[in-house]
Structure 1
């Protein structure tokens, strides 16, 4: 369900030639490349990394809402109770998607298309089908707790705006814990470091007379 809600929130428009494919006639959106889907899922599954990236964006832009969003995550237990760590693979965070996607595909909610040749697949694209969108909306309505993933997926997509899968991978590699994780082992948390960073940035904002939520 996490992947369905992520694909729903992250998909872009489907082209007319793609809609001409009989299997994609009901497609309402697409997430292009497995790398992009994996990297978006990494931030969704690791709220501590997401919050730390929000702090980086705050330092670049000075937009206080970014600091407040990071604070809302790091002041809570979300980095601990919502964290679903991923393995460090050859090219960064990785988790096999086949099993989860097979369930969505067999239910007619998502379709996958490969680009390339028989011997070399260059790209996987993931299409959200109309029944998938309907199910995503019904789940949120009937089980409001899943709204968490909708809100976080919205943040993740905004953070990744304009970045392709390879660019997202490079950005995530800037995190020491991510880059130095042993291949085949789970990538460690940055929650402690991010919380220290948050308090430093809050103190700096307060010194400048900037109000930051209840801490301002």
Structure 2
């Protein structure tokens, strides 16, 4: 019998908290001079482009791909902590129970964010602005407000139920710091399963093959230490 993967789903409230944490962790300081837009007067940071937001969200939602990326980075740098981080993820059931698949779209992993952003925008935590010309939007930017920062600080202190997302978002934000959405998209396209997923279909798991690759790299490390 062929096993069919059932895509897990999240609630609008879970999505809103996750996206708020991502924006807060990934936001760049507000550019100078201050924006002429009065609504942005209390903005404290910005995530530029929906592509970057979606690509960061993909790694938060898909621990198997995050671990695979850590292993690819380890192969290049041989930094032991990358192998250790990947092992911690893959040795747990995180790639199975914490995985929320995303669609493959024209620009890579994608999932509609309108509902989550509506929650954040209505509460005054995030402001979205569009760049481009009438009828042709070229870019979305996501501004974290001072109220949004306060909400994140409160989550960190009073909502331990979100500690997993806090830790995971912070890890991904560190790995993606200084990289734009196009660069992150290119890194995610290095994985065959991701790249070969038909447009409009959900990107499948690579947990099994990533655990296999981890075992190979660990064996190389042991052999190298013993030689």
TM more than 0.5: yes
Aligned to 2:86: 70
User: Which residue of 182, 193, 197 corresponds with 2:198?
Assistant: 182
Structure 2 residue corresponding to 1:9, chosen from 25, 33, 50: 25
Of 139, 144, 150 in structure 2, the residue corresponding to residue 134 of structure 1 is 150
Instruction: Find the aligned partners of 2:34 and 2:122 in 1 and give their Cα distance.
Output: 20
Q: 1:37 deviation in Å?
A: 0.5
User: Aligned partners of 1:198, 1:145: CA distance in 2, in Å?
Assistant: 29
C-alpha displacement at 1:52, in angstroms?
0.6
Q: CA deviation at 1:161?
A: 2.9
What residue in structure 2 maps to residue 204 of structure 1? 220
1:25 aligns with 2:58: no
When the two chains are superposed, the root-mean-square deviation of aligned CA atoms in Å is 1.3
Q: What residue is the counterpart of 1:86 in the other structure?
A: 102
SS of residue matched to 1:208 = helix
Q: Mapping of 1:96-135 within 5 angstroms?
A: 96-135=112-151
Query: Deviations along 1:99-147, whole A, 9 cap, x unmatched?
Result: 1101100100000111111121111100000111111111121111312
* TM-score where L is the length of structure 1: 0.93
Cα deviation 1:67-107 (Å, max 9, x = unaligned):
00000000000001110100111221111111110110010
Work out whether residues 51 and 107 of structure 2, in 8 Å CA contact, stay in contact via their aligned partners in 1.
no
- Match of 1:209, SS? helix
Q: State yes or no: 1:58 paired with 2:58.
A: no
Q: Which runs of 5+ in 1 are unaligned?
A: 211-216
TM-score normalized by the length of structure 2: 0.89
Q: What secondary structure does 2:217 align onto?
A: helix
Q: Distance in 1 between matches of 2:163 and 2:225?
A: 34
| Residue correspondences, number | 210
Contact 1:9 1:153 in 2 (8 A): yes
